[in-house]
Amino acid sequence: MKKNASVFFCQECGYESAKWLGQCPACHEWNTFAEEPKVSTSRGKMASSGRRSEAKEPVSLKHIDSDSQDRISTGMAELDQVLGGGIVPGSLVLVGGDPGIGKSTLLLQVCRNLADRLEQVLYISGEESLQQIKLRAVRIGEFSDSLKLLCETNLSDIEAVVLKNRPQVVIIDSIQTMFQEEISSAPGSVSQVREATGVLMRLAKEQNIAIFIVGHVTKEGTVAGPRVLEHMVDTVLYFEGDRHASYRILRGVKNRFGSTNEIGVFEMTDTGLREVANPSEYMLSGKPEGASGSVVVCMMEGTRPMLLEVQALVCRTNFGLPRRTAAGMDYNRLNLLMAVLEKRLNLPLSSYDAYVNIAGGVRLSEPALDLGLVLAIISSYRDVPIPDKTLVFGEVGLSGEVRAVGMSQQRVQEAKRLGFDRIILPKSSLSQMKSITGIRLEGVSTVRDAMEVLG
């Protein structure tokens, strides 16, 4: 008899191989390959469709009416902004995040808001019982009868329930617990996740139902099987946050119906997640006054400006090799900027330890952070505090030049709204600025100019 065909999948990233490999060539993780039965083409089509679809005729683009696709508001302004204005009917949205970060709580609150305005919302859980969901719902508040709950993991039964009830929005918590009977591998395997997502995608498109699916994350912080999931769904949202902090950040990394890299800020309370309408003020709360090495910078998260505090501590090293520590930013970028200061300003930083922290636990990668980080290091080294109402942004090059960054006008307007009266920015950005009264703009061309501006 012919041996049943099987393939090997990487459990971290979903890479497929005909034989077992010790290290995955895609994500470079060790001992992550697992053998699963190979799904034939005809069998996979039956699993994902269940019936033969009739041939369809192509339609001209000008004859398609896009105005009929009105977005559905979630009742949470922060989530609507990340989604691009609300939920698009027929879309498939993936929500990922660490265990216990608040994914299920967020989606249950969304269901509560939607149930007050829609005819029917369906919440399907494969991880919790109805009683457990009820306990969590009581903590959040009162729910409308339009919200229906279902505890099921069989995709065939779930599809039948969805087709019978025709809800406008469906929540699947989580995709790793769902399974197809036609697939012999265990729930959570790459084959099951791929087929389950295919069934849900077909349901969303054919029935014009918005479906949210919760995805588990790997130890690297990405959704398990990203090549299987992220390429199939319309929108990918990551729920991030420090377990020791109360705030949570919802970040959009893929969106076919809106801009990417948008964020929404929430605060975890005893009654669920609360929206933070002013994240800049929230992040700057508790900033010390008159302390050296502290400076406020303005970052852009999508189209939203956000003010954050950068802290630097420079002290003489007790050993021959100075220590560098970076929390919330790229460690190599810190070393690069310190080398620029030592070369261009003749600061003897090679004999000093440097510790840099982005207050609040936020991680930044935007180049506009450079100038603020440089001034924080200089301030700590000289033990000269930067005035409290001063904001800094700009990119620093290897020659010590300060380069312009995008959206300078929005950064200045946000700073003025929060009461800042002085901004140090790239000189080349001044020509792009519109007239703004009540705030002093000081342009700098090099890091030496920036140091002289501080006095």
pLDDT in tens, 237-260: 988 877 677 788 898 889 998 888
Please say whether the beta carbons of 258 and 83 come within 8 A.
yes
Does the pLDDT at position 226 exceed 50?
A: no
Binding residues: 97-104
What is the C-alpha to C-alpha distance for residues 264 and 279, in angstroms, rounded to an integer?
9
What is the C-alpha to C-alpha distance for residues 124 and 141, in angstroms, rounded to an integer?
19
Q: Which residue has the tokens 């991880």?
A: 127
Q: Could you tell me the CA-to-CA distances from 139 to 162, 230, 265, 270 in Å, in that order?
A: 27, 32, 21, 7
Q: What is the H or E stretch that residue 196 is in?
A: helix 190-207
What is the C-alpha to C-alpha distance for residues 33 and 7, in angstroms, rounded to an integer?
10
Burial of 94 (0-12, 13-18, 19+ CB in 10 A): buried
Does the pLDDT at position 41 exceed 50?
A: no
What type of residue sits at position 138? V
**Nearest CA-CA partner of 233 in 93, 88, 107:** 93
> Taking all residues of the chain, what is their mean pLDDT, rounded to a whole number?
86
Range with lowest mean pLDDT among 3-12, 202-211, 416-425 = 3-12
The residue-averaged pLDDT of 386-393 equals 93
Give the pLDDT band of residue 32 (cuts 50, 70, 90): confident
Range with lowest mean pLDDT among 65-74, 106-115, 176-185, 384-393 = 65-74
What is the C-alpha to C-alpha distance for residues 383 and 126, in angstroms, rounded to an integer?
57
Q: What are phi and psi of 249, to 5 degrees?
A: -120, 125
List pLDDT tens digits, range 202-216.
999 999 999 999 987
**Nearest CA-CA partner of 287 in 371, 388, 385, 372:** 388
List pLDDT tens digits, range 46-56.
444 444 556 67
pLDDT of residue 52: 52
CA angle 374, 264, 99 (to 5 degrees): 100
- 215: three-class secondary structure by DSSP: strand
Buried b / exposed e over 170-202, threshold 16 CB at 10 Å, is bbbbbbbbbbbeebebebbbbbbbbbbbbbbbb
**Nearest CA-CA partner of 296 in 405, 204, 411, 215:** 411
The residue-averaged pLDDT of 312-334 equals 92
Q: What secondary structure letter does DSSP report for 398?
A: T
Does the pLDDT at position 336 exceed 80?
A: yes
Q: Could you tell me the CA-to-CA distances from 324 to 133, 313, 356 in Å, in that order?
A: 46, 10, 8
Please say whether the beta carbons of 441 and 421 come within 8 A.
no
Range with lowest mean pLDDT among 5-14, 81-90, 336-345, 348-357 = 5-14
Q: What secondary structure letter does DSSP report for 63?
A: G
Does the pLDDT at position 175 exceed 50?
A: yes
Please say whether the beta carbons of 321 and 365 come within 8 A.
no
Binding residues for ATP: 97-104
